[in-house]
Chains A and B, each alone.
Chain A
Amino acid sequence: MKVSELNFTEIKENIKNYLANNPDFTDYNFEGSGLSLLLDILAYNTYYNMFYMNMAINENFLGTAIKRGSLASIAKNFGYTPKGRTSARIKIVIEITEPVNSLQNGNKIILDKRTATFTVGSDNQQYTFTPVQSYTLESKNGKYNAEIELIEGVWVKQTYQAGLSKFIIPEFNIDLSTVEVYEITQNNEVMPYTRFNNLKTLNADSRIFYIFETPFQTYEILFGDGILGKVPSPGSTIQIYYKTSAGEAANGLSNIAYSGNLIDGRFGQQDINYLTIVPSYGGSEPEPLDSIRKNTLNAYYAQERAVTVNDYKYFLEKEYPLAQSVSVWGGQDNDPPIYGKVFISIRPKKGFTLSVSEKQRIINEIIKSRNVVTVIPEIVDPEYTFLVLDSTIKYDTRKTSMDAEQMKFSILETIEEFANNELGKFDTYFNYSKFITQINNINPAIIGNNTFILLKKYVTFIPNLTNTYKVNFKNEIKERSFKNLVPLKMKTDTTINSELDIFLEDERGYVYAYTVNNVGEKVRRKVVGTVNYNTGNVELVMNVSSVVGRNDYTMSFIAEPKAFDVQMKYNDILIIDPTDISIRIVAQ
């Protein structure tokens, strides 16, 4: 049923024509006010019914449902629970001081995950955080200190009597990862239940619970039926703990203060020092509708097994919320091929790469329990390539009230929006014409747009050591376009004076180091590398001592792509750094 085909006027006209064919009404004047009103009502009724039906049926299908509740219900049939809000996390070092004379090394205090609350945020808006787990702090040199992780949200506890078929959590904004369920037996035994994850270890005695989103965006908890999972004993009490989350709003905060009970009955805010290691991050809003549609089907395709490339991607996107973008490719597609391996690259929401321990944790906790036994997963760091933009925009001053600065500002905004939406992820494609069109559409006054793009790579060097450096732009590049952005100093050899600023340029497949003499002429000193223009791969063999004007060990190189459309795949990410955007506004 296509709602676009529903047309009130057409329906009314059809009714009129139909009635006119009936001998009882052949001679009636249907334009008369009374009959016309009746026809209006009937046509409206028809229209209303059809529209209602259209909507009702659409809400029954995954592809067309637009209400979150409908999608959640359909997803439930596929065994998928849409992600709710995710709480932000923060990493801090906590230090509790006690008079030395009363403290001996090895004393312990416990930072309880429910009662040790911290307040994070500014005066205007503060959020409650608690430890992700209970930490035991051991004293050393007169202090208790530890690196801990906190998670945003206030603990809520719901208590029910066992025996219900389902237990409703009457909250909207729950971080599902924090839900904890316990059965308190009549003998006061506490029996924890874990969230159902997969069938492999499921039996009649498994203490598991299922959680589903209800059509009202709250959640319901179900237990086993005695065949697949244990039924809580009659007479026992069910305790459900969970955190309500502020989602994204709690991200990016670092001011912290302790606000909980006295730790160990003695220590309060005045005794505690903090150092924020990583400001709050990872808070997210409930899963968007499109994502629910996609992941519901992906869950169905994957069936809890990581076999194909798509399966790996699905599990990582589902279970590692700190990933901004995920790329997976089989070793058979790698260059060079490494069979029996699956390569994974993750761009984290915070920072550029994952730590070694985090990579290992992802492999152990998310991949290993699901993937093919002989296939080895390996997480590789993303490789970033920066897009350098140089635009000259001409605009007609008579067609807009904007001045040049305003025009520049709105162009910058558009570019940033483009960068956020189209780039910064794996498997992206910089479509030059789409980019230009978006700029041109900013304002009808824009009459000219001359934009050049360059690719930029950063490479870390080891000072005073002859080394091979690979600079791979991953796209075809033009000859004579490769150069270093900042002059280098090289270690003295017979061809290069270490005092001179060294520039690099390419020609016919070779990279030359050159200097500039007193009269501004280039003086080529030596060949320091090769260029493959087809692949965009540059190999340099150099002994670099420093980069002019910089204290770190980072060289930067640029090259012009042969085509203005730039494609990245596997672990390559193309991003636009605002500092690489150069815009000249020419008023005409």
Chain B
Amino acid sequence: MATEYKYKKDIFLESQIPLYIRDNYPLFVSFVKNYYEFLSRSSNEILAVKVLNKGKNYVNPFLSIKVIDTIVNSSTYGQYITDSRPVNLIPVVKNGRIEKVLVKNSKNVKYSKEERPVVVVSDSKGEGAEFELVIFHDMGNVYDVVQDLSYIRDVDIQNEVFKKYVLEELIPAFPSNLYSDGKYSVQVEKFVKFIRQIYNSKGIEAVFSFIYKILYNTTVSIYYPKTDILRVSDGIWIKNYYIVTEDNLTEKIGEKIVNQNGVTGIIMSCEPHPTLPGKWKVLIHERTGNFSSGDDIYLFNFKFVNTGEIIATVHSVEEDPYGYFKNDNGQLSSSKRIQDNYYYQEFSYEIQSEFNIKEFSQILNELLNPAGFKYFIKIIVDLESQLDLDAKLYYLNIIYPDVEIVSGEDAMLYKRSLGMTLTDVYKNPFFDATIDVTPIYDIFDVTPNTNISELEIYSTSLNNDLLLEANTMYGYSVYLYKNSWSARRTIVQTKVSENKIVLDSPFNTTETSVNVEVWPGYYFKNIVNSTTFELSDYDPFSVKTNNNNQSDPEKRFLIGYSLYILSGNVAGQRKKIVAYDGVNRRIVVESAFTQLPVNCIYRIINDLDGTEYFGGELSAVNVIKGGSGFTSATFVTDSPPGGSAPVFNVTISGGSVTAINITTPATAKYYTIPRATLTGDGDGVVYEIVVDFPQNSHLSQFLSKNRFQGIYFELQKDSLGKSLYFENARLRVYVQNNIIFSAIIENAGKGYVFIPRIYQRVGDGTLGKISATISSGQVSSLTVTGFGMDYNYEPEFVAEPPDPSISMIFSDSGSTAFMKMCHSSERDSYCTVLLDGSPRPEFSSANVNYYGSALNINMNSVRTYFTGFFPIKHNYNAEIEVIR
């Protein structure tokens, strides 16, 4: 469908000249007319396309320019002559409507006044669009110049050259680097329209965000270092708060309670009241309000509703001068910083962005930064990675021991961002401390009737380093043990030199000879629902990196860990952790526990130490009991992933199975003990299948790092003997009699695994179709499958680029897998590929089929990388760059 708009300005010259002159002096009339034509004839270029009507239903409109031959004497008036001059019209379509039209390459195309260019739009579905060509007269008549004034001044439709002048006038601080090759790389129009509001809102956070968004399409956040300045007045002291009841709530210690008004708190201790006989003094922590005498006390449940049994009634409320700090604010041991005269001061702020905005400093200095303030710029490297909860881990033979962790997205970037080296080990408290489910410290002989807030750890072999390590024990708990669990305190500090740990509040026990044990168990701040657990303020999952010496906010270790219940009548239940919600500090487990006691002890345990993830050889089947009644028997097992099962020979002697031997081994490794079936006419056989899983040396090396999901190879290009890189195919199309009659390959491209789609990008005709065949990764032939119609000149057809995600077929020991081509900073000499597909084969030797041709890879040239895939989107603080 085509719509046209005629660009035409009639000059009614003749009617302006008196009739007698027209009659008597036709030559003079012709002379004057020629003069006016001269004024109008000056060379003109297309300045803009004004959309008069946006039309509807457009999908992929193609705009072109035609010239109407306007020579009146000729009979060709009104006929269209294709304008082959290269003016590109680029329509911007939104919701099927052509919102605006951009003009490119119009500079060198001049239209004389005799020529009437019009816009033609082709689209199989769209209709109704109308356009007017705005032609700039570089030396034309006065009338036309005046007509074009709005196209000089109106920022929406003006030429880029004039935009530059408008910006220089209204926004002199506009970054000059955003202008190159005669155009702006951002939407100047928006910026100009909003500039008054920007000036009006100088110094406001929102303006920073807005400008970053509009200039660089990135979001920023502002951090104020002053919020992390240590102030001695920041400590909040909470006095001990007791409710006095007639009920003994000793059994409820550690439980969360709620009154009828919704005020909650946690019972920390329960002791006979020293002055009120028959009453109990119950210490409450973490209360959300005040209790009053007469309040009914319930056990808190998940729905926050005070239903159920009343466990006590408040007789009175008491406080004493003892208590505890709410957090470590105001204390020297906190992570706050001493004020300095540079970063940590009242008048500094930090702009955090993932965009490197060195060039942005001009606009910061002149437009945004309030005088008297110092700003810093932090570049956040945002690595977004995948969560593949179903992914299995596989054991890999390591040809080269240089095990590094690289990112699936960009190896170099990731290494730099974390500042990791080969010897880095993250301080993950659960790795070292929770493999063995035993207390990590025992503390004996607690003296009764004393307020114990600091405990000396009794251990003759105590290693200070270990205690120091236990600084990460924030969140670990100390349990008072006497026949049963009786009380819990959270460790808030360790005193290395004194071998002491400090508790969040004292034990006050009347028991004698109690044991106090330090457990790495976890006490949740809140159980949101049966699968969601909110972490407490002391977060043991906060890991330290050597980057900026700051706590790394991401919680990648949690995935792959399980949550265990260690106490109560459901002890031993385990659920895999499947997600971490960093905003709300919650972990989510795969499914609900069958029963969820509030005061359970939970532990979060690394499950990566199981052998199920690491493949091993099925080396033997040991017969433990031979059974009886056998005359014949066969033994089969499940096949290993990606391979075939071993073949067994069963030896029978005296009606009993005496041996099961492997005659043909499995062609792949097992990751679990396989299921097996012994079929025969007897029964009673007991056997043991032996799978030799890899040695722990591998495990320890892996576990000290991260999880693994795949491997990377760097294949040396030279060893492959041919390029592995991609290149788009190019083709040329020929038109005859307004149809496409042939297409030739100009460049066959590289790296095609699938036949690319070929489509028309530019052209005035429609319905032309071309298909291709490929061979050895290249386009090998083209066929015109649709001749199309209305082609006045050669359209541009393009082939889809090769899919870089599946570029090679990888074959190893009979199993196949795809390999993903990844970016590398060393493209010239290396090609990094990611092993993909499932199951992932083991890699001990490499025979690579590259588009059918075998490539011999020298294993010594293959460098193996292990990669960690990260469970959630997270940010790393890569570096701080101060730009002034």
Determine if chain A interacts with chain B.
yes
Residue of B nearest to A341 (CB): B372
Separation of A62 and B34 alpha carbons in the complex (Å): 38
Separation of A5 and B30 alpha carbons in the complex (Å): 28
Interface residues of A in 327-352 (CB under 8 A from B): 328-332, 336-337, 339-342
Q: What residues on B are CB-neighbors of A15 within 8 Å? A: 35, 38
User: Which of A275-283, A297-305, A546-554 contacts the other chain?
Assistant: A297-305
Assess whether B734 is interfacial by the CB under 8 Å rule.
Answer: no
Assess whether A203 is interfacial by the CB under 8 Å rule.
Answer: no
The answer to whether B372 and A297 have CB atoms under 8 Å apart is: no
The answer to whether A5 and B139 have CB atoms under 8 Å apart is: yes
The answer to whether A18 and B41 have CB atoms under 8 Å apart is: yes
Assess whether A406 is interfacial by the CB under 8 Å rule.
Answer: no
Assess whether B696 is interfacial by the CB under 8 Å rule.
Answer: no
Q: What residues on A are CB-neighbors of B370 within 8 Å? A: 307-308, 330, 372, 375
Interface residues of B in 153-174 (CB under 8 A from A): 165, 169-170, 172
Assess whether A233 is interfacial by the CB under 8 Å rule.
Answer: no
The answer to whether B196 and A303 have CB atoms under 8 Å apart is: yes
Interface residues of B in 334-378 (CB under 8 A from A): 341-342, 345-348, 365-374
| B349 CB, nearest partner CB in chain A, Å | 11
Partner of A297, one of B37, B146, B169: B169
The answer to whether B169 and A308 have CB atoms under 8 Å apart is: no
| A587 CB, nearest partner CB in chain B, Å | 51
Assess whether A309 is interfacial by the CB under 8 Å rule.
Answer: yes
Assess whether B237 is interfacial by the CB under 8 Å rule.
Answer: no
| A200 CB, nearest partner CB in chain B, Å | 12
Residue of B nearest to A56 (CB): B146
| A331 CB, nearest partner CB in chain B, Å | 5
Assess whether A9 is interfacial by the CB under 8 Å rule.
Answer: no
Q: What residues on B are CB-neighbors of A46 within 8 Å? A: 39
Q: What residues on A are CB-neighbors of B347 within 8 Å? A: 331-332, 339-340, 374-375
Interface residues of A in 280-320 (CB under 8 A from B): 297, 300-303, 305-312
The answer to whether B38 and A312 have CB atoms under 8 Å apart is: no
| B251 CB, nearest partner CB in chain A, Å | 55
Interface residues of A in 452-494 (CB under 8 A from B): none
Assess whether A323 is interfacial by the CB under 8 Å rule.
Answer: no
Known contacts: A24-B27, A24-B30, A49-B142. The answer to whether A305 contacts B202 by CB under 8 A is yes
Interface size on A, residues (CB 8 A): 47
The answer to whether B372 and A330 have CB atoms under 8 Å apart is: yes
Interface residues of B in 129-153 (CB under 8 A from A): 139, 141-142, 145-146, 149
Q: What residues on A are CB-neighbors of B196 within 8 Å? A: 300, 303
The answer to whether B31 and A25 have CB atoms under 8 Å apart is: yes
Interface residues of B in 41-58 (CB under 8 A from A): 41
**A1-45: contact bitstring with B at CB < 8 Å (1 yes, 0 no)?**
100010000000011001100101100000000000010001000
Separation of A15 and B38 alpha carbons in the complex (Å): 7
Assess whether B203 is interfacial by the CB under 8 Å rule.
Answer: yes
Separation of A336 and B345 alpha carbons in the complex (Å): 14
- The secondary structure that dominates the B interface is helix
Q: What residues on B are CB-neighbors of A18 within 8 Å? A: 34, 37-38, 41
Q: What residues on B are CB-neighbors of A1 within 8 Å? A: 139, 145
Separation of A336 and B37 alpha carbons in the complex (Å): 71
Residue of A nearest to B146 (CB): A53
Residue of B nearest to A52 (CB): B142
The answer to whether A307 and B202 have CB atoms under 8 Å apart is: yes
Q: How many A-B residue pairs have CB under 8 A?
A: 116
Partner of A300, one of B39, B199, B368: B199
Q: What residues on B are CB-neighbors of A301 within 8 Å? A: 199, 367
Assess whether B15 is interfacial by the CB under 8 Å rule.
Answer: no
Assess whether A192 is interfacial by the CB under 8 Å rule.
Answer: no
Separation of A308 and B207 alpha carbons in the complex (Å): 14
Residue of B nearest to A35 (CB): B31
The answer to whether A308 and B371 have CB atoms under 8 Å apart is: yes
The answer to whether A303 and B373 have CB atoms under 8 Å apart is: no
Assess whether A116 is interfacial by the CB under 8 Å rule.
Answer: no
Q: What residues on B are CB-neighbors of A235 within 8 Å? A: none
Q: What residues on A are CB-neighbors of B365 within 8 Å? A: 308
Assess whether B459 is interfacial by the CB under 8 Å rule.
Answer: no
Partner of B372, one of A25, A49, A63, A339: A339
Assess whether A110 is interfacial by the CB under 8 Å rule.
Answer: no
Assess whether B200 is interfacial by the CB under 8 Å rule.
Answer: yes
Residue of A nearest to B371 (CB): A330
Q: What residues on A are CB-neighbors of B172 within 8 Å? A: 297
Separation of A213 and B35 alpha carbons in the complex (Å): 43
Residue of B nearest to A24 (CB): B30
**B710-748: contact bitstring with A at CB < 8 Å (1 yes, 0 no)?**
000000000000000000000000000000000000000
Residue of A nearest to B28 (CB): A38
Separation of A14 and B141 alpha carbons in the complex (Å): 14
**A372-396: contact bitstring with B at CB < 8 Å (1 yes, 0 no)?**
1011100000000000000000000
The answer to whether B35 and A332 have CB atoms under 8 Å apart is: no
The answer to whether A331 and B372 have CB atoms under 8 Å apart is: yes
Residue of A nearest to B202 (CB): A307
Q: What residues on B are CB-neighbors of A311 within 8 Å? A: 202, 371
Q: What residues on B are CB-neighbors of A240 within 8 Å? A: none
Assess whether A57 is interfacial by the CB under 8 Å rule.
Answer: yes
**B826-841: contact bitstring with A at CB < 8 Å (1 yes, 0 no)?**
0000000000000000
Separation of A337 and B884 alpha carbons in the complex (Å): 14
Interface residues of B in 301-352 (CB under 8 A from A): 341-342, 345-348
The answer to whether A53 and B373 have CB atoms under 8 Å apart is: no
| A341 CB, nearest partner CB in chain B, Å | 5
| A336 CB, nearest partner CB in chain B, Å | 8
The answer to whether B35 and A25 have CB atoms under 8 Å apart is: no
Interface residues of B in 1-50 (CB under 8 A from A): 27, 30-31, 34-35, 37-39, 41
Assess whether A50 is interfacial by the CB under 8 Å rule.
Answer: yes
The answer to whether B372 and A375 have CB atoms under 8 Å apart is: yes
Partner of B374, one of A38, A300, A329, A332: A332
Separation of A15 and B341 alpha carbons in the complex (Å): 74
The answer to whether A42 and B372 have CB atoms under 8 Å apart is: no
Known contacts: A15-B38, A303-B199, A339-B345. The answer to whether A53 contacts B142 by CB under 8 A is yes
Q: What residues on B are CB-neighbors of A341 within 8 Å? A: 372
From A63, A310, A341, name the one whose CB has the most chain B CB atoms within 10 angstroms: A310
The answer to whether A339 and B145 have CB atoms under 8 Å apart is: no
The answer to whether B373 and A22 have CB atoms under 8 Å apart is: no
Known contacts: A22-B34, A305-B202. The answer to whether A300 contacts B373 by CB under 8 A is no
Separation of A556 and B341 alpha carbons in the complex (Å): 35
| B149 CB, nearest partner CB in chain A, Å | 7
The answer to whether B145 and A308 have CB atoms under 8 Å apart is: no
Nearest 5 A/B pairs, CB to CB: A339-B347, A330-B371, A332-B374, A307-B202, A340-B347
By a beta-carbon cutoff of 8 Å, the part of chain A in contact with chain B is 1, 5, 14-15, 18-19, 22, 24-25, 38, 42, 46, 49-50, 52-53, 57, 62-63, 297, 300-303, 305-312, 328-332, 336-337, 339-342, 372, 374-376
List 24 contacting pairs A-B, 8 Å CB cutoff, sorted by A.
A1-B145, A18-B34, A18-B38, A25-B31, A50-B142, A52-B142, A57-B149, A62-B169, A301-B367, A302-B199, A305-B200, A305-B202, A307-B202, A307-B370, A308-B202, A311-B202, A312-B371, A330-B373, A331-B371, A339-B374, A342-B372, A372-B372, A375-B372, A375-B373
Other A-B contacts than A15-B38, A341-B372, A375-B371, 19 sampled, CB-CB below 8 A, are: A5-B139, A19-B31, A24-B34, A25-B34, A62-B169, A300-B170, A301-B199, A305-B203, A306-B371, A307-B203, A330-B371, A331-B347, A331-B372, A332-B374, A339-B348, A340-B346, A342-B371, A372-B372, A375-B347
